[in-house]
Amino acid sequence: MSSQPSPADGTSGTDATSGAGASGPGATSGAGASDAAEASTPLPAADTSTVLVVNSGSSSLKFQLLDPVSETVFASGLVERIGQDDASARLSVGDAYAPYNGEVSDHVAAMKLVSRLFEDAGLSLADAHVVAVGHRVVQGGARFSEPTLIDSWVRDQIADLGKLAPLHNPAAVDGIDAARTLLPDIPHVAVFDTAFFTQLPEASRTYALNKSIAAEYRIRRYGAHGTSHRYVSQQVASMLAAEGADTTQLRQIVLHLGNGASASAVRGGRPIDTSMGLTPLEGLVMGTRTGDIDPSVYAHLHRSAGMSVDEIDTVLNKRSGMQGLSGMSDFRDITAAIDNGDQDAELAMQVYVHRLRKYIGSYAFALGGLDAITFTAGIGENVPQVRERALAGLEGFGIVLDTRRNAERSKDARVISADDSAVRVLVVPTDEELAIAQQSLELARSRKG
């Protein structure tokens, strides 16, 4: 596998690794170029088809160049503080490292910088055999259920869906515009976080809200992290099929536990439920988000505290969750604080796990039984205490964790349940960049065919 284990704070593997060896303040791309000249840079072979994956935020742009077939990552990096004169960027290509500090005016400038950093590191995008650019788009609404080739109409639809994801889709459009400007002759593909969950049954995706209001304002459960849930659930099915299991109706729960966290129930490869809803606020307790909460809290805080809707939204999304309960959102800090007797951290962990167990139990019933539970993302992959607490005392339901296997650190997908556990428990590293690249390559090839 090409993925790296995500850190316990829930950031992605790209975030965790792209800054390795970063130069201090004042580093320039020229410094990176000299470093790159001395390092051995793996280059894509002439018969290799690579995909450039772009994940554009409002003030950042993450990217990765990889071969979706061999799962080889040739380069990865990040541009931060776009729109500011103290922006920074870093690119890792094998042993080569190309940094930058300075002004990056907008996303077009960021993409031009990315191209320059590739050249500084000895790998020009023009010579990298790029056959597609895959864009992560958070919100696809009910319109986009599959990876989609981006043209002007699709671009405008993504912009319009920004009404449902105002923090994410406008930034994705900026990244799309910038990348299409830089690489106009290469197919650009949108891969939607919500696409996997467009398959949700109507009863699962529908809120018990006045149906006229729901229809007018497109209010339904869209879910999130769908690319990860799809990828991980497919990996689990492949692993169990290789052991001889019949996976045609495999009943599994996937727990994507990062700073943002979500759960899904998947039967036979199709989702039947997920924890996030209209927005990523619903569901599990997260790093700074409440997860499930009585909607009347909005009215109560407005009337009692005089808070505006935007102020309340900020509290629920950015000042709550583990951060709001304990003053910490990084699980490395939280587990250390618990070991030192911090009662706020202990309570926060209990609240977090209680919510997890509620979802595991309800999804097991919704699935009509359970064959596998899988932990993934930064916390799911790297915090054995969460896995142990979440599944403690469930032997009567056929869930038996192997303590030794659970405690082992590994980058690999693995089973951590006991041999006599009726339900398999697994840790499977997610790789959203690989999933986006594979889907983008498939669509690009079908377009040529």
* Amino acid at position 146, single letter: E
The CA-atom distances, in angstroms, between 320 and each of 176, 217, 292 are: 32, 27, 12
d(CA 131, CA 50): 6
Q: What is the pLDDT of residue 83?
A: 86
What is the edge-to-edge ordering of all strands in the sheet holding 60-67? 96-104, 84-93, 72-80, 60-67, 50-56, 130-137, 188-192, 148-149
Q: What is the pLDDT of residue 14?
A: 31
Query: Structure tokens of 371?
Result: 């064959």
Q: What is the pLDDT of residue 8?
A: 54
* Amino acid at position 74, single letter: F
Query: Structure tokens of 413?
Result: 């997908």
Q: What is the pLDDT of residue 1?
A: 37
The CA-atom distances, in angstroms, between 237 and each of 232, 233, 414, 428 are: 9, 6, 13, 11
Task: Give CA angle at 149 (165, 135), nearest 5°.
Answer: 50
Place of tokens 């999304």: 317
- Asked about 193 being catalytic, the answer comes back as yes
Helix axes 343-367, 384-391, angle to 10 degrees: 60
Query: Structure tokens of 275?
Result: 């924890």
Query: Structure tokens of 7?
Result: 């850190």
Report the predicted TM-score, pTM, of the whole model to 2 decimal places.
0.85
Q: Contacts from 124-127 at CB under 8 Å and sequence distance 24+?
A: 125/52, 125/65, 125/183, 127/43
d(CA 381, CA 394): 20
Query: Structure tokens of 405?
Result: 């296997």
d(CA 168, CA 177): 15
Query: Structure tokens of 328?
Result: 């910490």
H/E stretch holding 115? helix 107-120
What is the edge-to-edge ordering of all strands in the sheet holding 424-427? 270-274, 261-267, 251-257, 372-376, 424-427, 414-415
H/E stretch holding 256? strand 251-257
- Choosing from 9, 120, 174, 193, the catalytic residue is 193
Alpha helices in 161-195 (DSSP H): 169-182
Q: What is the pLDDT of residue 17?
A: 29
Strands 424-427 and 372-376 turn out to be parallel
d(CA 78, CA 416): 33
Place of tokens 């699709």: 154
Q: Under a CB-based contact definition with an 8 Å cutoff, are residues 62 and 14 in contact?
A: yes
Closest CA to 262 of 227, 286, 236: 286
Q: What is the pLDDT of residue 46?
A: 65
Residues of the chain scoring pLDDT < 70: 1-43, 45-47, 448-449
Q: What is the pLDDT of residue 18?
A: 31
